[in-house]
Amino acid sequence: MTNRHATAYESLPRPTRAVCRILTELPVPDLDELMTAASCNVSPQRARYHLALLRGRGLLKVTHGDPPPLRRRCLGFPAGAADAIRERTAHEDPEAQREGVRRLLDFLLAQASAAERLLTPTHRPLPRDIRYPPAYPQRFSDLAKALRWLESYTAIYTSALRAAAGLGEYAMTCQLAHALWPLLHLRNPEPLREIADTLGLEAARRTDGPEGRLALREMLNSYGVGERTRGRYRSAITATTEALGLARQDGDRLSEAQHLHDLGVAQRECGDLEPAREHLEAALALRRELDYTRGVGLTLLELGHTRCEDAPRRAMSLLFQAHHILTGVDDPFDAARAHALIGRAVLACGDQRDAAGFLQQALETYKALGIPDANPCCIQARDLLAQTHDTGAQPSFPQQPKPAQADSGADDSVRPRPEI
């Protein structure tokens, strides 16, 4: 430790020195008041006091801040300070420092799980192994704030996943990856998504018992969806096929229908249209048998997608049915996707004016829902709309979408809402 750091550290009150030692062990790129309170088991007000002392002694500095409404002030140690303090205090209460890391991971898991329940209420729940429930959780007053909070902590969660996996905390690793589903699906932040998919699946394979089995199925599903967004369709098919086999072994027919649906989508995206249709037809029959109305609408949408090029009139029939169902179950995002695909099928029939109307309506709905312009649904609809203005062009419709910034396939667990 440099003389300056030594003098600053030793001048701190004993409780603040204890906080400082814990903060140097936290496996995250920056710190804030809430993470300090959780990891050190103090109130946010007391955390603010300790952070102010550390800043005043030059042991912390402001690295950046978030825009309103979160206004998160991010702090970090000056270069070399954290390593020097760790070396100086390596034998001072190491158990408290290990506990601090676990408390931070529990806080992050609890926060992500709360946001997950709000943003994706139909996402299949997994048990949460929270050893230290946060005493001062951050409450989310609406969907937009929950999503913005997750976005603000993207780098934190990336580091936390790596740390949990490195510590052999396999249940924590796959639970974190599972809880981050709404952020991964709606915003597809890389490298977080691939890290969550890969580490979550590896951790689930190392988790024993019935909970580990369910976690493995969930992680295989998430991994398969992620591989689709990365354009690795064969890998997605492999993962989804494994998930389908496990669901059948476990007699979980609702999950079986989901995996049949996802398998058909992945096969469509890599151009295997006949097996795609077979799996989607099987998913449709099972969802009808289970009386899962929204699932029926989603699978009709994907079946229509497979017919847009070779049988556009058949596609329109399937897609109008899908749109009717999805509108009836209050799913405006996927209803808009159906409108966009109707526009594609109408364009394939040569009616550019009507196609433009459907595509424009879809784009207006995406905008009202707050779907980012970089979302593949928006990109594809804009590309098709441009074709309707090119009267001399012969429309062509590639079967494989571009590798996307967010998953464009229908999914049971995510329905973007107007507030997002």
Range of the domain at 338: 296-420
Question: What CATH number is given to the structural domain containing 64?
Answer: 1.10.10.10
**End-of-domain residue from the set 92, 126, 150:** 92
Output the tens digit of pLDDT for each of the chain's 420 residues: 466 887 888 899 999 999 999 999 999 999 999 999 999 999 999 999 999 999 999 999 998 766 555 557 899 999 888 888 888 887 888 899 999 999 999 999 999 999 999 998 888 889 999 999 999 999 998 888 999 999 999 999 999 999 999 999 999 999 999 999 999 988 889 999 999 999 999 999 999 888 889 999 999 999 999 999 999 999 999 999 999 999 999 999 999 999 999 999 999 999 999 999 999 999 999 999 999 999 999 999 999 999 998 999 999 999 999 999 999 999 999 999 999 999 999 999 999 999 999 999 999 999 988 888 888 899 999 999 999 986 444 433 333 333 333 444 545 544 443 333
Query: CB–CB of 334/261 below 8 Å?
Result: no
Query: CB–CB of 158/170 below 8 Å?
Result: no
- Domain membership of residue 104 (yes or no) is no
Q: At what angle do helices 253-269 and 273-289 cross, to 10 degrees?
A: 160
**End-of-domain residue from the set 49, 76, 92:** 92
DSSP conformational letter for 397 = -
Token readout for 108 is 């992050």
Q: How many domains does the chain have?
A: 2
Rg (CA), the chain: 25
Does pTM top 0.75 for this prediction?
yes
- Domain membership of residue 283 (yes or no) is no
| Predicted pLDDT of residue 395 | 39
Query: CB–CB of 136/44 below 8 Å?
Result: yes
Report d(CA 303, CA 33) in Å as an integer. Answer: 49
- Domain membership of residue 209 (yes or no) is no
**End-of-domain residue from the set 92, 116, 147:** 92
Question: What CATH number is given to the structural domain containing 341?
Answer: 1.25.40.10
